[in-house]
Chains A and B, each alone.
Chain A
Amino acid sequence: MSESTKLLLENVRLLDPATGLDAAGALLVDHGRIADLGTGLGRPDGAEILDGGGAILCPGLLDMRAALGEPGFEYRETIASAAEAAAAGGITTLAALPDSAPAIDDPALVFLLRSRGEATGSLTILPYAAVTRGCRGGDDLAELGLLREAGAVAFSDGKRAIGSTQLMRRVLSYARAFGARIVQHPEDPSLAEGGAATEGELATRLGLPGIPAIAESIIVARDIRLARLTRGRLHFAHISTAESVELIRRAKAEGLEITCDTAPPYFDLNETAIGGYRTYAKLSPPLRPEADRQAIAAALADGTIDAVASDHQPRDADDKRLPFAQASAGGTGLATLLGVTLAQTQGGRLGLMAAVALLTCRPARLLGVEAGTLARGAPADLCLFDPEALWQVQAGKLPGKAQNTPFDGRALEGRVLGTWKAGRRVFAA
C-alpha cells in the first residue's frame, strides 16, 4: 500500500461466526493482514482511520459456486467484471465452475484461473476442476490427482449432472485417493431433457415442457447410496426441493460425509416468478413450488444446508430475449447474495450469525480453505455492511456486466458498504 500500512476500522459491530464473536469494537489492519480486533485498540500512530458508523464488519464472503464468463463466454462476463460485481457484493473469495470453454480440465488452466484471480487484486478465485474431460460427461476422467495438486478446490462438471451411475461410483471412489470432493448438479438428465420449468400446474398452464421435481431427489438418493458404498466425499449443489433436503438430512444423521449448498433463488422465490414467461427467472434447476421454497428456508435454519452460494450464471440479453423454452437458464447472483440471504433473518428463524456463517466459515471449512474468519494474522478480507439499509435490485443497474437477475425489482434490506481484499479497499458504496 502506497499510503499508510495501517488501517483502523472503528465503531463497527464485529461479527465472526467462526469464533462466535458478535461485539462492538474495532479492527486493525497492518500490511494487509488483521493485526488486532476487539475493544480498546486505541489509534495507532499513522493509521488511517475509518468510522464504520456502527455497521457490521464480517469476514469477506466466500461464494462457493459461481460461473465466470471467462474463458470462452466473455460477451456475458469477464473475470474483471465478475470481480467488480463480487466486490460490490462483499465477496472476496469465489469458487469458479469449470464448465467454461475450454473447460478447466488441465492443471495449466487451474494455474491460469488462480493467477487471473490474483491479478484482479480484489478476488481470490478457487477453481473447480472438471470431473470428466471437457465437462462432457463422457467416460474419460479428468486428471483429478494432477488437478488437485495444481490447486483445484473440488471437482464438478458444472451445470451438467454426472448422470451415469457407474461413472459416479468410480469418480467418488477414485477421488478418495486425493481427498477430493465431488460436487454434483443433482438432476436426472433423462427426466430433465428439454424441460424448462418444474412440472406441475403452472408449467401446464404456460404450455412449458416440465421437469419433475423428483429429477433432483432421484439423483440425491442414488448418490447418497453411492457415497455410502464408496465412502467418497460428496457435495450437492443448489438443493431446491423438500424431498432432497429430507434425504440429505437423513444421510448426515447417518454420518456420511455429505454436504450441500443452495442458492438465494431457491429460498427467496418460487415458480410463480416465471409467470408471463419471464426468462430472467428461468434457472437450472428451475424454480419450485412454494412448499419447496419453504423447505429450503427451513433447512437453512436447521443447519442441514451447509452453505449459500450465488450460483451466479451470467447471461446477456440475447441469451434471454427468446421464447422461454429456448432461453438460456441461469441468473446473476453476486451483488445480491448477501442481501437476499439476510432477508431470511427477518422472519427470525435464521439468526444473523448463522446467515453470515453460511456465506463465510461454513463454505470455507467445507472446501478446506483458510478464509471466512476474522483471525489475527489472516489476510484482511473484510465486508462491511448495514443490515438495515434498504435498496432495490434493478436489472440494468447492477455492478459488473451480466444483468440477468431473477430478483429484478426486489427490495432488500442489507447493503454492502465496503469490501477489503488483503487490507485494500476494493469497494465503497
Chain B
Amino acid sequence: MLPPKHLLAIEGMYPPEIGQLLDLAESYALLNRSGKTQRDLLRGRTLINLFFEDSTRTRTSFELAGKRLGADVINMSVSASSVNKGETLLDTATTLNAMQCDLLVVRHDQSGAPALLAQKVDAAVINAGDGTHEHPTQALLDALTIRRRRGRLDGLTVAICGDIAHSRVARSNIFLLTTMGASVRLIGPPTLIPSGIEAMGITVSHDMDEGLRGVDIVMMLRLQRERMTKGLVPSAREFFRFYGLDAARLARAKPDALVMHPGPMNRGVEIDSAIADDPARSLIREQVEMGVAVRMAVLDVLGRKQRRNV
C-alpha cells in the first residue's frame, strides 16, 4: 500500500489502513515502554507544530513523538487574534515551503483549514484538530487504547457522551469506530446532537441512564463553558445532573466498562473526579501514553513518503 501524503481525516480511511497504523503504533508503545528510541528514522527532517489554537497536550505529544524519531521539531503558535481572517494561512504556507518543512502538524479553529493548507504546502500535513470537523490522531489513540485493553474494536459498544455537536473528537471517533465494526451510541441533550448524524450509522439517546446500558466503553467529551451562554445548556450543574458521569451512572454500563476522556477535563461538569481518577475504570492516563505512540506511527508513515522524495 502506498503511504498517504497527508492525514487530514478519518472519514474515507479503510479498515486495513487503520489497522496497520494501529499495529505500528502498538510497536511504538512497546518501544516507548522499553525506554529505547529510534532517533535515526526522521533524522534531518523538520517537523513544525503549527497551532492556531491553544493546546498543550496535543502539541507536546506531537513534539515528543517527533523528537523520539529524531526529527527537528519547531513549535509555532499563532494566536487567533493576530490572524487576519485566515488570509495569512496561505501566507504561512508560502513561508513554510520556503523553510522546507517536511512534516506539518496543524491545529486550527476552522473546519477544513488543514485541507486548505495541504493544497498549498509541500510538507505532509497532519490534522491535529480543525474546528468541529476532525481530530484524527485522537481517534487513533482512542482506538489503540481500547484495542490494547479489549483486544479488539469489532463488536464493542461505545457510548460517546456530551457535546457531540461541537466535537471534532466525536466525529473522528464515529468514523473510526463504525469503520472498524464497533457500535456507537451518542448521548447528550438534543441541542448538542448535530442534525443528520443518525445517517452516520450510530444511534442517539438523550437519556444517559438508558444510553449507557450495556456499553463496553464510555467516552466523555469536554463541555465548553461558552455553550452555557448560547442557549444550548442552561448551567453546569444541570448538565452534570443529567449528562455527567458518576459512579451510579457508570453502574448502568457493563460491569467492566472503561471510561475515556480526551482531556482537558471539566471535573464536576461532565465527569466526577472519583471516576476520572479510578485506575480500575479510567483509561485517561493511558490515552495520553498511546497518544505519543500513535503520533510516532503517523509521523513514521508520512515521513516515509517524504523520505522517498529526497
Question: Contact residues of A with B, CB < 8 Å?
Answer: 199-210, 212, 276-277, 318, 321-326
Contacts and interface: CB of A to CB of B under 8 A. Distances in A.
Given A205-B11, A207-B134, A208-B111, A323 B116 contact: yes
Contact of A323 (B113, B168, B171, B197): B113
B110 A326 contact: yes
Interface string B175-206: 00000000000000000001111011000000
B265 interface: no
B64 interface: no
Contact of B89 (A207, A323, A324): A323
Interface string B3-43: 00000000100000000000000000000000000000000
A139 to B, nearest CB: 25
A207 B168 contact: yes
B196 A323 contact: no
Given A202-B196, A207-B130, A276-B115, 12 more contacts: A201-B199, A203-B195, A204-B197, A206-B133, A207-B131, A208-B111, A210-B194, A322-B116, A323-B111, A323-B116, A323-B131, A324-B110
A206 B11 CA distance: 10
Nearest first, the 7 A-B pairs at minimum CB distance are: A207-B133, A201-B196, A323-B110, A277-B112, A207-B111, A207-B132, A200-B196
Contacts, number: 75
A200 B195 CA distance: 5
Interface centre among B89, B90, B112 (most CB of A within 10 A): B112
A304 to B, nearest CB: 27
A323 B130 CA distance: 10
Given A207-B132, A207-B133, A325 B194 contact: no
Contacts of A210: 194-195
Interface residues of B, number: 26
Contacts of A323: 86, 89, 108, 110-113, 116, 131
Given A322-B85, A322-B86, A326-B86, A204 B112 contact: no
B87 interface: yes
A239 B194 CA distance: 25
A350 to B, nearest CB: 31
Contacts of B111: 206-208, 277, 323-325
B110 A325 contact: yes
B13 to A, nearest CB: 14
Given A277-B112, A277-B115, A323-B89, A205 B171 contact: yes
A207 B115 contact: no
Contacts of A204: 171, 194-197, 200
Interface centre among A201, A203, A204, A277 (most CB of B within 10 A): A204
Contacts of B87: 318, 321-322
A210 B193 CA distance: 13
Given A205-B171, A207-B171, A324 B112 contact: yes
B130 A201 contact: no
Contacts of B197: 201, 204
Nearest to B110: A323
B200 A201 contact: yes
A279 to B, nearest CB: 9
A135 B43 CA distance: 59
Contacts of A203: 194-196
B195 A212 contact: yes
Contacts of B130: 207
